[in-house]
Amino acid sequence: MSENTAESKQLLHLVFGGELKKLGGVEFRDLEKLDVVGIYPNFETAQRAWKSKAQQTVDNAHMRYFIVHMHKLLDPDTGKAS
């Protein structure tokens, strides 16, 4: 069996967050204070990290965490890493 099975394929995801200037927006108050949680090999692990951070900051309504699908940025035509 090939090493490139669907199980081992890396579809990188970045989890990061910060305090927003206003609710409903996506502009951050201070870019130097962004919290880069990490880069994960698949959506499932990224979602677990995102959920953990979001739950830790639930008392701050302006704090938001995001998942960026880096694999789609690496290869926008197919959405997969080359």
Instruction: Give me the domains of the chain, ranges plus CATH numbers.
Output: 13-74 (3.30.70.2400)
Whether residue 4 is predicted with pLDDT greater than 50 in this model: the reply is no
- Between strands 63-69 and 35-40, the pairing is unpaired
Pair 33, 16: CB distance under 8 Å: no
- Structure confidence by residue, pLDDT tens digits, 34-47: 999 999 999 999 99
- The pTM score is 0.79
Higher-confidence position of 57 and 74: 57
